[in-house]
Structure 1
Amino acid sequence: MRKSACAGLAVVTLLVSAACTVAPVETPTGTSSSVQAITVGSPTPDSSIAPESQIVAEIYTGALTAAGVPAVTKPDSGTRDIYLTALQDGSVDVVPDYSGSLLSHADPGSSEVSADDIYKALTDKLPEGLAVLEASKAESKDAMVVTKATAEKYQLKSIEDLAKVCKDVAMAAPATFETRPDGVPGLKASYGCEFKALKPFNDGGGNQTLLALLTDDVQVADISTSTPSISDNDLVVLEDPKNNFKAQQVLPVYNKARMSDKAKEALNAVSRILTTDDLVNLNRAASGSQKQNAKDAATAWLKDKGIVK
């Protein structure tokens, strides 16, 4: 673990661990001193949020570096329970996360659904030693999505409208949607919506789900708001006036003992300008014809926003 390696520096002062330090920098007195880099983690590759989170992690690393804070990226930091433990033990220092899911993990009984309420609750519910910085406007949250033809046929603008015809339509969603609190049970409780059929697709709202929707095999699908296929195929995201789906703002969760004010401000600056449209475009750059890797997509975004030259 990185903490153990760093502790060894106190004993063997002539050895420098690459995992713990970066090039010497000047201290205020003009003498040379090694500075420990901030380690930015991201979820394991088999996680459904991993590709997007890896790009955001690279954005955080680039923003920290541009602000004069040494930083390195550590991909494949595990699923949420693993990387939260890593944050506590110092294996990583900060990870991009999603507010609603983070709160549900920290407090499974939480009832907060709005962005503000979730953010307030997180300040009290996170594990010891951890905190969150400012939340961005960028969200990657579940949404009920239909084609324009279906929206026009049934006059759909919201899930309330959909509830009037649920019995006549089939839905594509992950198999877990049948029992998830915000899935079938939540839609029934909040809107009285019961579908004619639920067809399970475990591609995270990907190509199989999209094909089923476009061919009218299903009439509504659960697709994340940051998925490029929504705008690319002129799909309609139905409004959720009763907040069945929790807010899922992108925000940094971090180890309080490891973040300087300078580092916090660099990451807060990213959150103040990162939007859902940015996530869509970043995901498109990584998954579309450009096939950019996470670092290249992040660098292009940082340059476009003027954070790096």
Structure 2
Amino acid sequence: MRSLPALRILPALRALRAVPALRALLRVLLCATLPVLVAACATGPSLEDRGRVTAPPGDSRHLTIGSAGFTESDLLARMYSLLLEHAGYRTKVISVSNREIYEPALESGQIDVVPEYAATFADWLNARTHGPGAPIVGSPDLRATVRALRSLAEPRGLTVLDPGRAVDQNAFAVTGEFARAHHLRTLSDLGRSGIPVRLAAGDECVRRPYCAPGLEKTYGIRISGIDPKGVGTTQAKQAVRSGRDQLVLTTTTDATLDEFGLVILEDDKHLQNADYIVPVVNRSRAGGPAVTKALGRLNTVLTTQDLARLNERVDSWRRLPEDVARQYLRSKGLLPE
């Protein structure tokens, strides 16, 4: 049926406003026939531009927590989920192994909360905002790093909550046999050896300043290729143990290196910054005080040593991350028995 011109239906719409049962119909008709009002019918946050967030902090009761797909991130995501459920939220956890995918999803609200690493995320956002040649903003100074991170995150509609006590760093390991054969103790030793190495890591390692580019620039290490098996995964460590790869990207909280006969090469030129664990949330959906309070409870108890032990229970004892997370939170009085 042909629609009436907007000006002819306005008197009728004014009359409908007086009838309570038909008020909902008024909104539908306005949105369908008056294009200038369509924007007013939409819901959700808005950005006047990329530099200024206009939406107030939101408090959606259904939240999606993102994990980066490795053990430690899975554990943190599960702890966030359990703490938020205890605070009255409904949650689900999804795994997205690539920051280039999950960060845009965090901005758009497809993901609401992620556990991040302050220095690494600050540098990643800085490169995305200002280009790959932008100066590094992450540093061993936690306050300066978080300040820089917040200035980069806020224009994107993201809120960086307070960091906790636990800190992690990237680390690179080889087999003990390989280290002994080539007299390797530090990453500088590996660079001086001139031995080309295939690196088991995440596929994004080829672009990250603290991964392959940093190893090549800072240490002169010859990276012959990236084997995209993830950060510190069982598959990545098995690839090095078997000789398929020679170097693996893991973390300083990896408690399973001995099982694979691996040893960490010392980062003697301090390529890596201290990465404190920090929750990052979508401001329009999870930026309210209740989420901040729920996640902040973890900051008071979780230490680096705790995190290493939790990683071990998943990686060595083959426990499920959700079970390990729940047991830990109960042991600290953050969840009821």
TM-score > 0.5 by shorter chain: yes
Residue equivalent to 2:213: 185
In 2, Cα distance between the equivalents of 1:85 and 1:219?
33
Cα distance, 1:155–1:212 mapped onto 2, change above 3 Å: same
Q: Check conservation: 2:164, 2:276, Cα contact below 8 A.
A: yes
In 1, Cα distance between the equivalents of 2:63 and 2:289?
16
Cα distance, 1:58–1:178 mapped onto 2, change above 3 Å: closer
Residue equivalent to 2:94: 76
Residue equivalent to 2:65: 41
Once the two structures are TM-superposed, the CA of residue 229 in structure 1 deviates from its matched residue by: 2.9
- Find the partner of 2:137 among 112, 116, 121: 112
Q: Which has the higher helix share?
A: 2
Cα distance, 1:59–1:199 mapped onto 2, change above 3 Å: same
1:187 maps to amino acid: L
Cα distance, 1:148–1:185 mapped onto 2, change above 3 Å: same
Cα distance, 1:73–1:282 mapped onto 2, change above 3 Å: farther
Q: Which moved more, 1:264-273 or 1:281-290?
A: 281-290
Pairing of 1:186-225 with structure 2 (within 5 A) = 186-191=214-219, 193-195=220-222, 198-204=224-230, 205-215=232-242, 219-225=246-252
Once the two structures are TM-superposed, the CA of residue 227 in structure 1 deviates from its matched residue by: 3.9
Residue equivalent to 2:153: 126
Q: Which moved more, 1:111-120 or 1:217-226?
A: 217-226
Q: Percent identity?
A: 27
In 2, Cα distance between the equivalents of 1:92 and 1:189?
35
Cα distance, 1:154–1:274 mapped onto 2, change above 3 Å: farther
1:98 maps to amino acid: Y
- Find the partner of 1:62 among 82, 100, 106: 82
- Find the partner of 1:164 among 189, 192, 197: 192
In 2, Cα distance between the equivalents of 1:77 and 1:296?
17
Residue equivalent to 1:102: 121
Cα distance, 1:264–1:198 mapped onto 2, change above 3 Å: same
Unaligned runs of 5+ in 2: 1-23, 25-58, 128-133
Cα distance, 1:102–1:72 mapped onto 2, change above 3 Å: farther
In 2, Cα distance between the equivalents of 1:105 and 1:255?
17
What SS does the corresponding residue of 2:330 show, helix, strand or coil? helix
Unaligned runs of 5+ in 1: 1-10, 12-34
What SS does the corresponding residue of 2:251 show, helix, strand or coil? coil
Cα distance, 1:211–1:65 mapped onto 2, change above 3 Å: closer
Cα distance, 1:286–1:194 mapped onto 2, change above 3 Å: closer
In 2, Cα distance between the equivalents of 1:172 and 1:86?
28
Once the two structures are TM-superposed, the CA of residue 306 in structure 1 deviates from its matched residue by: 2.5
Deviations 1:22-50 (A, max 9, x none): xxxxxxxxxxxxx963624114xxx544x
1:134 maps to amino acid: D
- Find the partner of 1:267 among 295, 312, 320: 295
1:56 maps to amino acid: L
Q: Check conservation: 1:144, 1:223, Cα contact below 8 A.
A: yes
Cα distance, 1:93–1:104 mapped onto 2, change above 3 Å: same
1:223 maps to amino acid: T
| TM-score normalised over the length of structure 1 | 0.68
In 1, Cα distance between the equivalents of 2:174 and 2:111?
40
Cα distance, 1:123–1:296 mapped onto 2, change above 3 Å: same
Which of the two has higher C-alpha Rg? 2
How many residues align? The count is 266
What SS does the corresponding residue of 2:228 show, helix, strand or coil? coil
Q: Which moved more, 1:263-272 or 1:174-183?
A: 174-183
2:136 maps to amino acid: S
Q: Check conservation: 2:237, 2:260, Cα contact below 8 A.
A: no
